[in-house]
Amino acid sequence: MTKLSTTTVLTLLATPLLMLALSGTIAAQEGSLLSNQANVKADDGSLLPAGPLSLETASFLFQPVPPEAQREVRKNDKIIVIVDYRTAMYSDGSAQSRKTSNYNAALLDWIGWDGRDIFAAPQSRGDPTISGRLNSQTRAQTELELEDSLTFKIAATVVDIRPNGDLVIEAHRQVRNNEEVWMQSLRGVVARQFVNPDRTVRSDAIAELAIDKREMGQVRDGTNRGWLSRLYGKYKPF
């Protein structure tokens, strides 16, 4: 192992300081994005302040907004509605009823009529009686679990603008593939602040939302209930 003398060590330490004293200014690589953006070079090589930082000059992820997105939303403009509707419901119930009834009835008096007058007619064979007993017991138990989801995108038209600035939107779409037909409709009211710069809005930000989705064709006919099944399911006679 080589040993350095004291003189050599002092020389190595003093060399950077000597270079700094002779040059006056030492330039080194600066890795700070904020520092590079905060100053700009003038013609004579000096650094001049560039003013306050902005997202456009200080962010690697910044993307300028298209000119059409900066324009105010007006009537008959188009926006994209992202429909993401999900529901889940669980219900459990039970009911039990029990009833016992006893009844006895006897006919004590009867009437007779001879063509002119109404009079009491005694029962020569005794008073007719009737008795009975009724036992009724009902028990019902139900359990319901339902999950539903609906996801799609659709272009909507601004059909009206309310006095407070809210946008009334409406969308219709129909897709036909041979015998299969898919129809989707949407309408509602959305506030301007919920419309993103790229002219998109989520369905959960739309008030008075009404979605209509229908299907026609062979697939739908294969899973559709007949009119007798619908009638029985609606009225349930038993």
The per-residue pLDDT for 206 is 94
- Tens of pLDDT, residue by residue, the chain (238 residues): 555 566 665 565 556 555 555 555 555 555 555 554 445 555 666 655 555 666 666 677 777 766 665 678 889 999 999 998 888 888 888 888 888 988 888 888 888 888 888 888 877 788 888 888 888 888 888 888 888 888 889 999 999 999 999 999 999 999 998 888 999 999 999 999 899 888 899 999 999 999 998 888 877 777 777 777 778 777 766 5
The per-residue pLDDT for 158 is 94
Q: What is the DSSP string of 96-144?
A: EEEEEEEEEEE----EEE-SS-EEE---TT---EEEEEEEEEEEEEEEE
Q: What is the DSSP string of 136-166?
A: EEEEEEEEEEEEEEEEEEEEEEEEEE-TTSP
Please state, in angstroms and rounded to a whole number, the distance separating the CA atoms of residues 215 and 174.
Answer: 10
Task: Name the residue ranges covered by the structural domains of the chain.
Answer: 6-55, 78-88+148-235, 90-144
Q: What is the DSSP string of 171-187?
A: EEEEEEETTEEEEEEEE
Q: Is the dihedral of CA 183, 189, 194, 196 positive or negative?
A: positive
